[in-house]
Structure 1
Amino acid sequence: MTTIYFIRHGQASFGAESYDKLSPKGEIQAKILGEYLHKILKEEPYIVAGSMHRHQQTATISLNECFPHAKIHTNSAWNEFNHQQVFAKYDELFAQPQVLKKLVSQQDDPYQYLSDTFAHAIERWTSNEYSDEYDESWPQFKLRVENALQNLCDELTKIKPRYAVVYTSGGVISVLAGKVLELDIPKTFSLTWAIANASLTTCRLIHDEPQILSLNEHHYLKVEDPELLTWI
């Protein structure tokens, strides 16, 4: 029986010219993640990572602490949706990440402001009215993630490793959790906002079907330093 750990990447560089790289705090999260994996995994896992830089960085840094010679199977099917485009299509002011970061910093409650903006942007993206405006529509993204999950389960059923680790993003983890738990769209994306950086969502593979064991495990970071808990 295989246990699958779906890991959200460490904190990326919000508001920077390139979001797709770990912040200094994200690098620390990845290192501590690796130390934690070293404690809980009794043998080398089958490893998959999205092709985004933040996925690869998180994988490399964490694996250096536990399985430095492990092979990483890179698969872009595990990449996040284009959240910057989703923001920008909702409000063109957000086309430049620096503008969004400035607007957020000016709010009395920055987290709530960003959460509300995200919710409205996602609502627009997931409606049928504007699908052709996006490089990847909501149905396309959902299908991509669900296919990635099924293909992974099929592969793991064949090779039967004790563990598998997948480095990906919050939106991807939310969609796969939403599929397994049969959640509607609003509830699916409410998970996205709750999933912490470098957190673990765990599934057990029964035959070729995933069963969720845990969602959004991040207490190992909180024990190390509460300041390491981030969601953006």
Structure 2
Amino acid sequence: MSILYFIRHGQASFGKSDYDSLSPVGELQSRLLADYLLSSHMTFDAILVGPQQRHRQTARPLIDACQEKGGTGPEIVEIPEMAEYDFTTVLRELIPVMTAESEAFNRDAGLMFTDRKAFQRLFEAVMLRWVGGDHHLPAELTWTAFKARVIRGVETLMARYGRGKNVAVFTSGGPISATIQEVLRLSDAMAMQVNWQVVNGSMTRFKCTHEKIMMASFNEYPWLEMHADREIITYR
């Protein structure tokens, strides 16, 4: 049996022109994660990294530390199936529809780039609408298509690393929650609600063989809890 360690990226740059880049807090989260794993003498046979820049940046401190130790080190592989869903397109397509339906939603839309709470309310409403299928997005942008792509990636991991391996997978909250949904047979709405609880720089473990997968832990982040500044525990 193998263990797959799904790690959510550190905090990205909310409100900046390049969201897909770690904030200073995200960089700190990534270093604390790597330091904790190394001090715990945890070793990996492979480190898989999703295609987004924030995935690579979060993995970098651990990869660098493993390579500095010498020897062959873990296999480093990019896994495109672990990309996050295209939330910018979903927001762009659904916000106008929902703005026309609700004055409260319209007010939040006007504040979404300056007020985190307004953005959170708007984002949650749009995402629940999205996973509920109440929209006219192209088939490839639906939650159903996103889930299918993530599960193909999970099946690839199981086929390649399903026996006696420790594998770190750096990804986003969406692929983590879609995998949890598949394993625990959650509804789409429940999967999205799980997604909102995944902390930046946290780790969720799955045990797997070539044929089956089960959840072993959810949303671990002691490396953040031990830090003096509790504001480094972030969700977006």
TM-score range, shorter chain: 0.7 to 0.9
Question: Following TM superposition, where does structure 1 have runs of at least 4 consecutive aligned residues deviating by more than 6 angstroms?
Answer: none
Deviation of 1:66 after TM superposition, in Å, equals 4.0
Which residue number corresponds to residue 159 of structure 2? Answer: 154
CA distance in 2 between counterparts of 1:54 and 1:98 reads 27
Within the candidate set 221, 224, 227, 2:224 is matched to 221
Deviation at 1:17, TM superposition (A): 0.7
Match of 2:80 in 1: 76
RMSD (CA atoms): 2.4
Do the aligned partners of residues 135 and 42 (structure 1) sit closer, same or farther apart at CA in structure 2, a change above 3 Å counting? closer
Q: Distance in 1 between matches of 2:178 and 2:124?
A: 15
Query: Which residue identity is paired with 1:45?
Result: D
The aligned residue for residue 36 of structure 1 is 36
Structure 1, unmatched stretches of 5+, are none
User: Larger radius of gyration, structure 1 or 2?
Assistant: 2
Normalised to the residue count of structure 2, the TM-score between the two structures is: 0.85
Structure 2 unaligned residues grouped into runs of 5+: 100-108
Q: Which moved more, 1:169-178 or 1:58-67?
A: 58-67
Query: Contact 1:203/1:210 (CA < 8 Å) preserved in 2?
Result: yes
Please give the per-residue CA displacement for 1:86-143, whole angstroms capped at 9, x wherever unaligned. 22223259xxx996231x25xxxx2xx4443222211332243424357622111010
Distance 1:67 1:213, change over 3 A: farther
Asked whether the equivalents of residues 159 and 210 of structure 2 are also in contact (C-alpha less than 8 Å), the reply is no
Match of 1:187 in 2: 190
Instruction: Output one character per residue of 1:165-224: Cα deviation in whole Å (capped at 9) or x when no partner.
Output: 000000110010011011001110001111000000001114531111100011221112
Specify the SS of the correspondent of 1:186: helix
Alignment partners' CA distance in 2, 1:172 and 1:26 = 19
Distance in 2 separating the partners of 1:131 and 1:115: 23
Give the alignment partner of residue 167 of structure 1, picking from 165, 170, 190: 170
- 8 Å contact from structure 1 (residues 90, 120) kept in 2: no
Tell whether the 8 Å contact from 1:32 to 1:62 is kept in structure 2 after alignment: no
Alignment partner, residue 118 of structure 1: 123
Whole-Å separation in 2 of the counterparts to 1:142 and 1:135? 11
What is the rounded CA distance, in whole Å, between the counterparts of 2:209 and 2:63 in structure 1? 26
Q: 2-side partners of 1:18 and 1:134: how far apart?
A: 27
1:91 equivalent in structure 2: 95
Aligned length: 221
Query: Which residue of structure 1 lines up, in the alignment, with residue 146 of structure 2?
Result: 141
Partner residue of 1:47? 47
**Aligned counterpart, 2:102:** none
Q: CA deviation at 1:67?
A: 4.7
- Residue 100 of structure 1 corresponds to which residue in structure 2? 112
SS in 1 for 2:207: strand
- Give CA deviations for 1:4-30 in whole Å, capped at 9, x if unaligned: 100000000011111100001101110
